[in-house]
A = this chain, B = another copy of it.
Amino acid sequence: MDKLNLSKHISSQFNEEMERVRNHVMAMGGLLEQQLQDALSAISHNDAELAQQVIDTDIKLNNWEIKIDEECNRIIAKRQPAASDLRLIMAVLKTITDLERMGDEVRRIAKVALESFNAHQQDLLVNLENMGRHVGGMLHDVLDAFARMDLESAYTVYREDKKVDREYEAITRQLMTYMMEDPRSIPKIMNVLWSVRSLERIGDRCKNIAEYIAFFVKGKAVTDSSEMEAAGE
């Protein structure tokens, strides 16, 4: 076997192993999407059992992170990847950290469903659910962009985060107004507020993943919004 074949051979083993890792990232991402949907569904149907299930399932996301982290470390030690191969592993490692932390935010959101709300307060939850669906769409899109390492879709997610931030501000203002009108509701509304904040953080982390995709594709860190916008053009 000459050197070229050997290097091809190593590269194809690397590719196979990375394919498996990517499948695991997608499985982890799929579980997170399901968790977010279940948390929102638990809130809209006031379903404490489903909320508890979301809280209990979070450990699976932690386990995925540990498993994929170990796989990546093994590949680096065994295959000694460089250039874009190494960048891909780094993008995976950063992505799974964000996915795991998004899981923690979803768990916090699910806790809201463990409380009971009166009819007026229920109205406020509708905004939370709408924002949740918006952020869920972002998560879906960024995982899709990650699967294809597609810079243009990553850029779309990056821009979408600004809309989520505006939605977050509008809902926060509304909830504060409600608290001022009915101060006794403050503790309950605060929990809704934390959930809205958690959704905003999930949006931020989707934006992070969009940056990792740009880092992989462009070969350098892109953390500045003007650079990211230039990357998407």
Tell whether A231 is near chain B: CB-to-CB under 8 Å: no
Chain B residues whose CB sits within 8 angstroms of the CB of A180 once the complex forms: 183-184, 186
Q: Which residues of B contact A93 (CB under 8 A)?
A: 90, 93
Tally of this chain's copies = 2
A221 on the interface (CB 8 Å rule)? yes
Instruction: From known contacts A97-B94, A97-B97, A179-B179, infer whether A223 and B66 are also in contact, taking CB-CB under 8 Å.
Output: yes
Residue in B70, B83, B97, B186 whose beta carbon sits within 8 Å of that of A77 in the complex = B83
Per-residue CB contact flags for chain A residues 152-184 toward chain B (1 = under 8 Å, else 0) read 000000000000000000001000100111011
Give the nearest-CB partner of A94 in chain B: B97
A122 is an interface residue with CB less than 8 A from chain B: no
Residues of B within 8 A of A221 (CB): 66, 69-70
In the bound complex, residues from chain B placing their C-beta under 8 Å from that of A172 are 190
A217 contacts chain B at the CB level, 8 A cutoff: no
Within A59-83, the residues touching B (CB, 8 Å) are 62, 65-66, 69-70, 73, 76-77, 80, 82-83
**Cα A82 to Cα B74 with chains together (Å):** 9
Residue of B nearest to A98 (CB): B97
Task: Give min CB distance, A7 to chain B, whole Å.
Answer: 15
Kindly provide the distance from the CB of A157 to the nearest chain B CB, expressed in whole angstroms. Answer: 19
Would you give the shortest CB distance from A169 to chain B, in whole angstroms? 12
Closest to A178 in B: B186
Judged by a CB distance under 8 angstroms, whether A31 is at the interface is no
A187: B residues at CB distance < 8 A:
176
A66-B223, A176-B190, A180-B184 known; A73 vs B97 contact (CB < 8 Å): no
The 7 closest A-B pairs by CB, nearest first: A80-B80, A77-B82, A180-B183, A66-B221, A183-B183, A180-B186, A176-B186
Can you pick out 11 interface pairs between chain A and chain B where the beta carbons lie within 8 Å of each other? A66-B221, A77-B86, A94-B97, A97-B97, A176-B190, A179-B183, A180-B183, A180-B184, A180-B186, A181-B183, A197-B197
